[in-house]
A = this chain, B = another copy of it.
Amino acid sequence: MAEYTLHCFAQSGNAYKVALALELAGADWEPVYVPFFKGGARTDEFKAKNIMAEVPVLDHAGKTMSQTGVILGYLTGTLGKYAPSDANEALRWILWDNHKLTANMATWRFLRNFAPEAMRNEDVIGFLKGRAVGALKTLNAHLDSREWIVGDTMSTADLSCIGYMYYADEYDFDWAEVPNVTAWRDRIKAVPGWKHPYDLMPGHPIPE
């Protein structure tokens, strides 16, 4: 058994935040597929691990953890990597990511690409896109004079905000509108060992 077990699926940018952290650090980890699109995060068994019914869940050293902001902080200790130079500033961006960036990008993309036809309401999708693009522009402004979100190195704040960025062609958005974000995305992609979420976690394409 691997040292770290990550309950995840390929389409989850939230799970990717943790998978990428583990992979780039060369950790001994293995994914366990959660059949999210068949309700795999809403079973009683899964909710006993995480009442929030959300992926990812990480098992390590007898502990079961959820919420990427908690897990990434934990990994700074066990992996000895990604610790931000300013913990409060990193937490500020991780909270903002959860509230404004990931929350809207994930839901916008889900409705466009994965939701049942009856859920694909164009007004809802347009609303979520507006919110997500607003968040992308905030991040773009922050990255105007810097390479990383906090301090001078890649930290937990970058790993949090990067979650949904590599599914780039699954959004109807011209990424040239946020050039600092795309440059930052390419900077992380250039880290040795980088993999796309579809190559790092199981479940792409979605099994029948």
Contact = CB atoms under 8 A, between A and B. Distances in A.
Contacts of A51: 138, 141-142
Nearest to A68: B95
A91 interface: yes
Interface stretch (A4-12, A31-39, A97-105, A192-200): A97-105
Nearest to A92: B67
Given A103-B103, A121-B127, A123-B124, A70 B52 contact: no
Given A121-B123, A123-B121, A124-B127, A70 B53 contact: no
Contacts of A99: 98-99, 102-103
A78 interface: no
A95 B69 contact: yes
A70 B98 contact: no
B52 A67 contact: no
Report how many copies the assembly holds.
2
Interface string A65-76: 111111001100
A95 B96 contact: no
Nearest to A121: B123
A143 B175 CA distance: 42
Contacts of A121: 123, 127
Contacts of A91: 67, 69-70, 73
Interface of A: 51-54, 65-70, 73-74, 88, 91-92, 94-96, 98-100, 102-103, 107, 121, 123-124, 127, 131, 138, 141-142
14 contacts: A52-B96, A67-B91, A69-B91, A69-B95, A70-B91, A70-B92, A73-B88, A95-B95, A98-B103, A99-B99, A99-B102, A107-B131, A121-B127, A123-B123
